[in-house]
Every structure is written in structure tokens, then in C-alpha cells.
Chain A
Amino acid sequence: MTLDGKCPSGPIETAWDRHRFNMKLVNPANRRKYNVLVVGTGLAGAACAATMGELGFNVHAFCYQDSARRAHSIAAQGGINAAKNYQNDGDSIHRLFYDTVKGGDYRSRERNVHRLAEISVNIIDQAVAQGVPFAREYGGLLDNRSFGGAQVARTFYARGQTGQQLLLGAYSALSRQVQAGTVKLHTRTEMLDLVVIDGRARGIITRNLATGELESWVGDAVVLATGGYGNVFFLSTNAMGCNVTATYKAYKKGALFANPCYTQIHPTCIPVSGGYQSKLTLMSESLRNDGRVWVPKSAADATRDPNSLSEDQRDYYLERRYPSFGNLVPRDVASRNAKNVCDEGRGVGHEVDGQRRAVYLDFRDAIKRVGKSTIEARYGNLFHMYTKITGENPYETPMRIYPAIHYTMGGLWVDYNLMSNIEGLFVLGEANFSDHGANRLGASALMQGLADGYFVAPPTISDYLARVGWGSQINAEHEAFKVAKGEANDRIQKLLNIKGKRAVDSFHRELGNVMWDKCGMSRTKEGLEEALKRIPQIRAEFWENVNVPGDNKGVNQSLERAGRVADFLEFGELMCLDALERAESCGGHFREESQTEDGEALRDDDNYCHTAAWEFKGVDTTPTLHKEALNFEYVKLTQRSYK
């Protein structure tokens, strides 16, 4: 299989415009004859379903939550980037493009990223017109803040709830189409399989989470906007229900999975406090502007009251190692250093499973310098949140923080049209691999989700539909639907019949521990090989010893979780394999074997300047690797340095 990204050639600045002009259109009178199935109602899915509905297509939208408004996009805090240059500080489409390619450590497609930067400005217009209450200046115009990885202020925000406000905007557009009758919304509905007929995506199998009923849905195109797979680590900043099921099932049906090992770790999260912990909470990175990161010099001081330790008993390790960037080094560098000091036994805080995994983020000096009230004005809501979760007062005791899994850059492989290698299967938002390379910049996921959903997918899906035409005779009685539904039902019955001794979550935690240890912040050949042995064992025990109580009639949350965990137990192996295969370090993927003399990530452009796309060959069979070479015409490849 040769992977063709189908990028338009010619000057990059006009590529998308020219491409759009060359696309076919569907006659307005014919649009309602096409069924478009959109799985996911986050920013990407809601925006796409609403826009396709406005165009007059017959849309079905699905989500597993009880309302489309609760998709995980709701939790995004910081903001959304756009190259508006409202601050007149030298921003431009080209600069946003450049920053994103560089931030991704040169592992993304230039032409996709350029289109993203172009569209960014339309997103802000659209959101404002919908009534999204972005922060404003006294003059009534939109305000901006700056964010990591950029020297300009191009981030638009709505307090610490930007994702919520953008999602509610997309949800309102979706609701309008539901009222208009163009979109049918199916909440509490989980996609369990993709149906492919003659090489084309033709439908999905779903389970109604309220009644247990399995249903077949026939479509002319299928859109997956089902978010990221960070929950393979069990503990992450993702919502509890985030899963890999939809994209993994598509992978099992022949869609290629690209760069699964590219995951992003966020350095400032509230640490794990006990074995019961169910998720991790992110604290905004902005805290590193004033907080100083340290651990005790000696492991013996790990349990002492931090305020009792004198200056020479503290190791401000980031300031020591990176004198010019200090506490403001990028996410991956800050995260790895925290891990290293904890590995040395100098971690602080609660002991969980025999280890202390936290470092101090100390505001003592900042409070001395600018006063408590200034710090309160800057970070009051974050300090309040920290207190609510930990019961401690960060104005008096240093915060404890630790890195956590936050975002997944990998996803289903798509071409420039956001179509996977399966015809008619489109993949949007965090679920695809497209724009962030090996590392995503802050405030760029919201931008990508909305760009995909509002502006990129609607014309490319229309083009596809115009080319394939309508009137094919497929209905839910087709053999392929019957087989897929039968298999989904068999798997549910199998899970329900095991009646073993262990709860579902215990397997998820066990898998998460392996992933975090061996395929987390830093990875080695030995560790990954060990994980590749360990994961099949956990999976085997799961299928023998899990206990899924109840039946398939009505709400059964154990069954929902069991299905998702079963998929993670296969997917984890694919991630480790990809991480093993990529013997270089790049972005969020750090291979200890590939580092500079100072311990920084070292890329290997000669051997790894490609996208790795995996083809499924069977559960216990090694998948086939396909490579899409990456060409850089506009941005020069350089080594990152933050010393």
C-alpha cells in the first residue's frame, strides 16, 4: 500500500483555495438523499454535523453521554489560537503555521498545518457570531493572551472555560439543526463497530446505553470525531468515558492507525494521592510563570515540612539545568525532569505503591516579591481549585504537582481531505493524526477540532458524496451489517458470561501502570519489549477472570467499561510497538537511547522523518507498518534547544 496524502501541489498559500475550487458539489435538491453518520459531538463532531445539516444533508449524530453538550471538549480551559493579529505584535498566518510545524517537532504535514492556520481566523468570527462570550477589553474588542511555544499573543479565551463556551456554541448550532429536522441526535449511544462494504464505509453498529439494544445505521459517509485515547493510561486528564473503541474498531476494519505512540504529557497536574484515584486534574501551565519548581536535595528530606527546608537543602532543578528558560521550559522537558528527580527518590508528597511522585511548585518567593494579593489576582481560581481537591493552602504550603497524560497526537491516518484509507470514512479532531506532529502546542486542539468540523470536512465530504453518487441499494439487511451486529452481540455475551473474580477497573489500572511505566514520559527498547510481553498476559487474564455483572437489558455501566477496556488492552500493544519501532526521540516521544549529551531529545531525520501508519493483521499478529514520507519545503528542520 502506498500512502498518498493527496495534498494539492503548487504554492502553499493558495493550495486550499485551489483545492476547494476543484471539488465537486452536490445539487441542493439531492442533498437530503444522502445519509451522513457523525459519531461524536465534541467540537469536531458537533461543528461538522451542524454544518452538514445546514447544507441540507440528512445527518445522524451520536454520542455516549446523555447530552451532546457534555463531550470532553467541554473541559478545555486555556484558549484557542487564531492568527488574527489583533494585538499587532507581528502575528500572521505564516507565523502560526511555522510555530505549529516547529512545535510538532517536524513530524506533521506542512500543507495540512498551513490550511489550519488560514482557517483559524474564520473560527473566531463564527464563534463570536454564535454568541460565544470571549474575554473582551474595555473598548469592547476581543482580548488575547499568550500561550506556550509562541512569542505573540494569539490565544482567545473565555476565562478558564474556553472549551465549554466553544462547545456550547457548536452545540447550539447543532440544536438548531435538530429543531430544523436535518440532524437526528442519538445520545447515550455508543458505536461498537464500523461496517465496510466493497471498500467503502457504509455504516455503524451502535449500542443504546439506556436499553442495551444493538442497532445498524446505514450511511453514505461515516465521520468519526470520537476524541483521543489518553485513557489507555487509566489515569489522565481526560473524562472517564473517553475511549479508543470507535477508532480502534475502524482500525480492525482496515483503517490505518498513525503514530499511536505520540502522546502529550502535561507537566502541571495534581498528583496521585492514593490507589483509589480515578482521574487527574490539570492545573494551568501559567502557574509556572511565578511558581518555582523544586525538590529536596537529599531523599532523606522528602517527608519533611517543605517550609522547614533551607535554601541550600532545596534543588531548583529546572533553574539549575536550564538557566535561560528556567521554570518555563516546554511541557515535555519539564515533565521528564520531574520524573527523573522522583526516580532518584527525591519525590515528595503521599507515598503511593511505595513511591513518592510529586515535586513542589512554590509561590513563596513570588508572594514576597509582588504580594499575596497580586498572586491571588493572577491565580486565585486555580489556587481555589487546588485547595478543593487537596485540602491544602498553596499560599502557605508549596503546591505539589506531577505530570499526567493530557492529549494524544496519534490517531487514524487521514489524507488532506480528512478521509482515511477506507473510502467514505472521515476522521476529525483529536481522533485523527493530522496536524500536530509529535507534539501539540497549547490552545491548538480547539482550533483544529473546529477547523475540521466547520470548514474542512463539509466541503471534502460533499465532494466525496458527489463523486460516489446516491442510489446504492444497501440497507441494514445487508449481510455485512448482520455479521457486524452478530459479532458485537457475541462479544457482549462473552463479556457477560465470564463471571470471574476481578472488577473491570482493576484491569484498566493494571494496563495503565504498564503503559505509564514503559510507554509514558520516557521509553526504552527493553521497557517496551517488556510491555509487549506483559499486555497480552493482562488481556488473557481479563478474558478469563473479569466479572461483568448484570445483563444486556438496560443500563449496565460495567458492560460499557468492559467493552472499552477490552479495546484498550489491544490498543496498548499497538502503541508500544510504534514506540519501539520509532528509535528516535521527537516531541512527546522520548527514547532514552536517542538523546543529546545533555539529556535532551534527539531526532533522527535521516531515518524517521515519516508518519508511521499501521495496518491491522489480527489480534495476536504483528501489524504491517506503512510509511508516509514528510517533506519540508517551507520550514527548515532544526534541533530544538532551551538551554
Chain B
Amino acid sequence: MKITLNVWRQSGPDAAGSFVKYEVDGVNADMSMLEMLDVLNDRLESKGEQPIAFDHDCREGICGACGFMINGVAHGPEKEITVCQTHMRSFKDGDELTLEPWRAMAFPVMRDLMVDRSAFDRIIQAGGYVSVRTGSAPEANATPVIKDNADLAFEAAACIGCGACVAACPNAAAMLFTSAKVSHLGLLPQGQPERDKRALDMVAQMDKEGFGHCTNHGECEAVCPKGISVNFIARMNRDLLSATLRSTR
């Protein structure tokens, strides 16, 4: 098939960017979206032109490195997958696709489709852990965990930190990401001692990074490649409320 791409090209963080049109022919339905870009990049490279920059690594939907907007939708048209798992059979001959980086104040563009998501790391550093030193852990089966809680904690922990939730949110809020970590640890007995502080500190960091506020659009859940539920946001809000009450008491 033949695909026409409008790709956001920006040579550096301070440069002005613009869309550039590329015609890619010989696209095979079995190619992934990123392999199609590889083919285009190979052509550009052999001509001495700069290839399109995009983050990627595992190419199986688990590392969270990849991600950009395809025709305005974070990670493209298919549900619950990342761009690296999107295959060209989702499109048809002659389609025109617009590829654009995540747009959010807290995620500055570095080059082309690549953005800086280090704000997510700083949110985790603010409290996304259980304070347990190596070697100080008790015997693993000493604390049974209710299976339903363990399973729900797993679902929250499945977040890959890709940033699509922020990109899709009209306010560029990071609530889905942050609430996933707060809920994962808050659902487990190991996470209880620091539960209040964790929620308060992580949310404070989130605000400091310049992410917007949640106004319940739910766009985040719709694009999340791991199907993280907005119910975790409600859960975090409850935690925040009780933590605030307790801390002012």
C-alpha cells in the first residue's frame, strides 16, 4: 500500500517545528507502525537526510518508551495498544496519517516525535515506593494479601509510564498515571504505613511539574494502552481527602 504521512519535524527543543509530508509506498500490512517509519528512515538516511526521531525500545508494548499521536489520537486508532504494536493493516492504501508528538507543558518536545517525560520519574521519586531497605524484608508469606486486592493492585501496577493519558487529556493532567501508582501501593498491606504521605507528596510533585487538573473527561482511560481504569483516580482522591483531614487534625 501507499501511505501519506504528515510528520512533525522539529530539530531541537528550542527550534520551531512544522509538518513535513512524506509518501511511503510499498507498505506491507504486516509491518508495525514503527517498522514503516524504519523503512522511511532508512531511505532518508541513505540519502544523507536526518531520520525522524522517536523513542522506542522493546517494540512489544511493555517498556513504555514509544508513543505519539496518530491523526490526533494517542497511540493511534486501535484500543489498548501502543504505537509499536499498531500494525499497518489497521490502515488502507492511500490513507493519510498525521504523526505528532505528545503535547503538554510538562513534556517538552526534544526532537520530532520525541518528548521529555522525566516529570513522571520525579513524581515517582516524590513517594512512589515502600521504604524498605535491602535485607530488611520479612518472610514473604508472613503477610497474606487478599487475592482481590492483590489482583487489583496488579492492574494498577501494569501502567507502563508512556504518557498517553497526559497527551489525551484536554488539561494535560497526570492523574491516571499518578493514581495508578498511589492505588497499586495503597491496596497492599506493605504500602499502608506511608499511604497518606505518599498520596500527598506525589500529588504535590504532579502539580509542581505543571500538569493540569482533572475535570473528569475520561480521555485518559480511552487511550491508555494498559486499560488503566479512571476508578483509580477516584480512589486516589479519596486517599487525598482522608490524608488531608488526618494531617490537619
Contact = CB atoms under 8 A, between A and B. Distances in A.
Interface stretch (B69-77, B139-147, B206-214): B139-147
B63 interface: yes
A388 B87 CA distance: 8
A67 B144 CA distance: 32
Contacts of A131: 129-130, 153, 157, 184-185, 188, 190-191
Interface residues of B, number: 82
B23 interface: no
B25 interface: no
Contacts of B43: 503
A72 interface: yes
B243 interface: no
Given A391-B30, A549-B51, A140 B57 contact: no
Interface stretch (B98-106, B111-119, B167-175, B231-239): B111-119
A172 B47 CA distance: 44
B149 to A, nearest CB: 9
A65 interface: yes
A319 interface: no
A179 B126 contact: yes
A215 B153 CA distance: 41
B132 A130 contact: yes
Interface in A378-414: 388-391
Interface in B28-50: 28-32, 34-36, 38-39, 41-50
Interface stretch (A5-13, A90-98, A156-164, A566-574): A156-164
A549 B45 contact: yes
A129 B147 CA distance: 16
B21 to A, nearest CB: 19
B110 A133 contact: no
B129 A455 contact: no
B58 A277 contact: no
Contacts of A187: 118, 121
B144 A139 contact: yes
Contacts of A360: none
A492 interface: no
B92 interface: no
A210 B14 CA distance: 13
Interface residues of A, number: 84
Contacts of A506: 42, 46
B188 A547 contact: no
B29 A140 contact: no
A138 B148 CA distance: 9
A35 B139 CA distance: 33
Nearest to B49: A549
B184 A391 contact: no
Nearest to A67: B121
A142 B46 contact: no
A454 B133 CA distance: 10
A548 B58 CA distance: 23
B11 A554 contact: yes
B65 interface: yes
B39 A276 contact: yes
Interface string A43-81: 000010011001000000000011111101011000000
Contact of A141 (B44, B110, B133, B144): B144
B141 A276 contact: no
Nearest to B185: A131
A547 B60 contact: no
Contacts of A273: 28, 30
Contacts of B50: 549-550, 556, 558
B87 A389 contact: yes
A129 B136 CA distance: 9
A274 B134 contact: no
B125 interface: yes
Contacts of A350: 30
Interface in A126-150: 126-131, 133-142
B129 A557 contact: no
9 contacts: A65-B57, A67-B118, A68-B121, A133-B150, A164-B62, A388-B81, A455-B135, A501-B46, A555-B12
Interface of A: 47, 50-51, 54, 65-70, 72, 74-75, 84, 86, 122, 124-131, 133-142, 158-159, 161, 164-165, 168, 171-173, 175-176, 178-179, 185, 187, 210, 239-241, 273-274, 276-279, 281, 350, 388-391, 454-455, 458, 499, 501-506, 547-550, 554-558
